[in-house]
Structure 1
Amino acid sequence: MLPGPVFAAPYHLDPAGWTPGSDGYGRGDNPTRRLLEDAIGELEGGGCLAFASGQAAITALLMTVLHPGDTVMIPSDGYYNVRSFAASTLAGLGITTVEAPTAGPYPPFEGVRLVLLETPANPGLDLVDIAEVARAAHAAGALVAVDNTTATPLSQRPLELGADVVVASGTKALAGHSDMLLGYAATNDAGLLDGMRQWRTLAGAVPSPFDCWLARRSMGTLALRLRQQSANAAAVAKLLREHPLAGAVRWAGDSELAARQMRIIPGLVSFELPSAEHVAAFLRASALVAAATSFGGLHSSADRRHQWGDSVAPGFVRLSCGIEDTDDLLADLTKSLDAAALP
């Protein structure tokens, strides 16, 4: 299906007045946005709502599900802004936050209202068995949400594995061109979907129609992009393990769980260089790897995550492999690492 036309946000009403259920104002509904939501929902296996960013989607979930006195469990090694939001906004509302590492062990789920997972985790790429955690959390009465940003629904379908809701940043690999912001949430729980829709409308956390069009356009090449990024990541991980300057190399494809839970291994690799200065030298020497805090785009990029407050070493690098020719990328990385190793 083609991405369709771009419908602007405001509309002209019928002279007889607005009919409930029809497009009256773009904050509440939009035909271009619905086309994108239908496409993502088909991939995720549930009803979908698009948001202005991934953080907006997670915020909508948290603010819809949680109430004063509730407890939420979040990854201690996941996206840092979720922890920041929990420590500020949620704490101020009387909501208790419990942190757990993605790979476990997990504390008891009793008394927890919502368990938020992120797998592979950003930036450390740890994995969690979604089905296993979902069974244990559901037995204790908790809802389970999965941040599917790194994997995308072509790689991993959390709803099929037992999750109640999926949230993600479409800014990254889903749209994949590094030219817009987008988030989404998907679920088969009609009540939860309606609650998040109401929150989105009242908070105004909607993506622009043109960004929705861009994202829907980009999804036509998603499978091609993911496969090349994955192939590049496998080759890059091997190169990094053989280079004397790089250490602590991690790639999700090394895990047996990844083979069971994901169809395509994401194109992210993490590693450590001796210092922040080595990372800067590495990036200056590279012709193909750009310094960027986002990931999942057409072009390879790297980010030194310590600068943002992540609990990682100063020389920790999250490398997002693009769709470049594999041999060209390996040659560029070898040259750049050799240059960074010089005194």
Structure 2
Amino acid sequence: MSDDDRAGRLMHGRPGLERGDPVALPLTMASMFHLPGDPAGAPGYGRVDNPVWEEVERQLSILEGAPALLFPSGMGAISAALMAGLKAGDRVLLPSDGYYTTRLLADRVLARFGVAAAYRPTARYGEGGFDGFAAVFVETPSNPGLDLCDLAAICAAVRAAGGVTLVDNTTMTPFGQRPLELGADVVVASDTKAPSGQSDVILGHLATRDAALFEAAKDWRKLSGAIPGPFEAWQLNRSLPTLEMRFARMCDSAEALAPRLAAHPAVRALRYPGLPDDPGHALARSQMARFGFLIGLTLKDRDTAERFIEAAGLTPATSFGGVHSSAECRARWGDDVPGGFVRLSVGCEPVADLSARIVAALDEIA
């Protein structure tokens, strides 16, 4: 299925509507359902069933090309993928330069259950092989440094070594990169970011074509109680049909901005996979449909970076993927980046105005 087909199916709305049915998805806020007699085959309890979840999971399944499960956050999806698939004595490989909360989960929770974690930088993820790892967790491009690794090669090597590959695709969305088609066993993502786009909901999802992994994650959600709220799911339902358009505009704008930023004297280093001289450019062209909407730029120091964010009128926030452009000094969270490193999330504003504001801010701090 092409991206146009996926976007079109999301735009078509809910299938099977009868005459007089509401076109918009009704919000079902219910903890209990009318359940006389044999409960089989009917919704029973709000921790297990909700028609809003089911519709959003149908949409996400269209996007991913695989059965999907909705969770209350991206970390909820990651936790389900790891906790449902690992057992005491297993080893898991994680990126040392990826989203830091995944590493904290391994250090503070998985270790207590006898799961040992090892770490490698994304750009050298394949070095050393994958023997002995029950699961290999991949994030490409890495967040926040935007390094890349070869997904197809890694997935094939992990499978040959007897492990499973889990890929965090938050930075790219299914319209920018399709890990399952490159050989991944499970894909997870934070729908708080671009899929929602409005910075007003926290959700995440997991998708897999492996029936056993899917059922294990679904069971984990039911038994742990890590369930999404119906209202949050309803909010995401409203945003998913416009994801393809928003993502395309954000990527177009980032591609236009990156060369201007790279050429500015105030910028000491710039990472964007779409630039021909970026270390990950060739790999990005081979495995990504777009180059993404995140740009990493390094300024003189953290004070300079903070002044730049303010002068450019960018939203200083610790998330990304909104319709509004935002930026953050990632060193403040302990990421292994220079103090002046800024993760810029390009939004949907008119690119001429956004570019003018950003360049003017760089001129001011130069």
Tell me the TM-score normalized by structure 1. Answer: 0.96
2:264 paired with 1:243: yes
Aligned to 1:70: 90
Aligned to 1:108: 129
In structure 1, distance between residues paired with 2:37 and 2:29: 19
Residues 138 and 167 of structure 2 are in contact (CA less than 8 Å); yes or no, is this contact kept in structure 1?
A: yes
2:71 paired with 1:51: yes
Aligned to 2:285: 259
Among residues 220, 223, 227, which one is paired with 1:202 in the alignment? 223
Structure 1, 21-30 or 147-156: larger mean CA deviation? 21-30
In structure 1, distance between residues paired with 2:67 and 2:106: 26
Aligned to 2:347: 322
Residues 233 and 268 of structure 1 are in contact (CA less than 8 Å); yes or no, is this contact kept in structure 2?
A: yes
In structure 1, distance between residues paired with 2:274 and 2:227: 35
2:48 paired with 1:28: yes
Letter in 2 for 1:34: E
Q: For residue 84 of structure 1, give the secondary structure of its aligned residue in structure 2.
A: helix
2:312 paired with 1:286: yes
Residue deviations 1:272-299 (CA, integer Å, cap 9, x gap): 1111110111122123x11011001100
Residues 33 and 43 of structure 2 are in contact (CA less than 8 Å); yes or no, is this contact kept in structure 1?
A: no
Q: For residue 41 of structure 1, give the secondary structure of its aligned residue in structure 2.
A: helix
The alpha-carbon deviation at position 12 of structure 1 amounts to 3.1
Aligned to 1:90: 110
Aligned to 2:207: 186
Identity, % of aligned positions = 45
- Closer/same/farther in 2, CA of residues 253 and 18 from structure 1, 3 Å limit: farther
Residues 125 and 251 of structure 1 are in contact (CA less than 8 Å); yes or no, is this contact kept in structure 2?
A: yes
In structure 2, distance between residues paired with 1:128 and 1:18: 51
2:90 paired with 1:39: no
Residues 233 and 269 of structure 1 are in contact (CA less than 8 Å); yes or no, is this contact kept in structure 2?
A: yes
For structure 2, the 5+ residue unaligned runs are 1-12, 15-23, 276-280
Residues 56 and 236 of structure 2 are in contact (CA less than 8 Å); yes or no, is this contact kept in structure 1?
A: yes
Letter in 1 for 2:295: V
Residues 66 and 208 of structure 2 are in contact (CA less than 8 Å); yes or no, is this contact kept in structure 1?
A: yes
Structure 1, 187-196 or 4-13: larger mean CA deviation? 4-13
In structure 2, distance between residues paired with 1:163 and 1:300: 31
In structure 2, distance between residues paired with 1:322 and 1:17: 52
Q: For residue 193 of structure 1, give the secondary structure of its aligned residue in structure 2.
A: helix
In structure 2, distance between residues paired with 1:12 and 1:68: 38
- Closer/same/farther in 2, CA of residues 243 and 26 from structure 1, 3 Å limit: same
Residue deviations 1:90-149 (CA, integer Å, cap 9, x gap): 111111111111121432211100001011111011111111101111110010111010
Q: For residue 129 of structure 2, give the secondary structure of its aligned residue in structure 1.
A: coil
Residue deviations 1:214-271 (CA, integer Å, cap 9, x gap): 1121111111111111111112211111111112101122312212212122101001
Aligned to 2:101: 81
Among residues 204, 217, 222, which one is paired with 2:243 in the alignment? 222
2:321 paired with 1:296: yes
In structure 2, distance between residues paired with 1:9 and 1:203: 19
Structure 1, 249-258 or 143-152: larger mean CA deviation? 249-258
Q: For residue 64 of structure 1, give the secondary structure of its aligned residue in structure 2.
A: helix
In structure 1, distance between residues paired with 2:33 and 2:82: 34
Aligned to 2:9: none
Residues 186 and 207 of structure 2 are in contact (CA less than 8 Å); yes or no, is this contact kept in structure 1?
A: yes
Residues 100 and 107 of structure 1 are in contact (CA less than 8 Å); yes or no, is this contact kept in structure 2?
A: no
Letter in 2 for 1:334: V
Map 1:113-132 onto structure 2 (within 5 A).
Answer: 113-132=134-153
The alpha-carbon deviation at position 18 of structure 1 amounts to 5.7
Structure 1, 100-109 or 52-61: larger mean CA deviation? 100-109
Letter in 2 for 1:55: M
Residues 120 and 127 of structure 1 are in contact (CA less than 8 Å); yes or no, is this contact kept in structure 2?
A: yes
Aligned to 2:20: none
For structure 1, the 5+ residue unaligned runs are none
RMSD of Structure 2 on Structure 1 (CA): 1.2
Structure 1, 255-264 or 165-174: larger mean CA deviation? 255-264
Structure 1, 169-178 or 251-260: larger mean CA deviation? 251-260
Structure 1, 312-321 or 239-248: larger mean CA deviation? 239-248
Give the length in aligned residue pairs: 339
Residues 57 and 69 of structure 2 are in contact (CA less than 8 Å); yes or no, is this contact kept in structure 1?
A: yes
In structure 1, distance between residues paired with 2:165 and 2:114: 20
Letter in 1 for 2:136: V
In structure 2, distance between residues paired with 1:220 and 1:62: 29
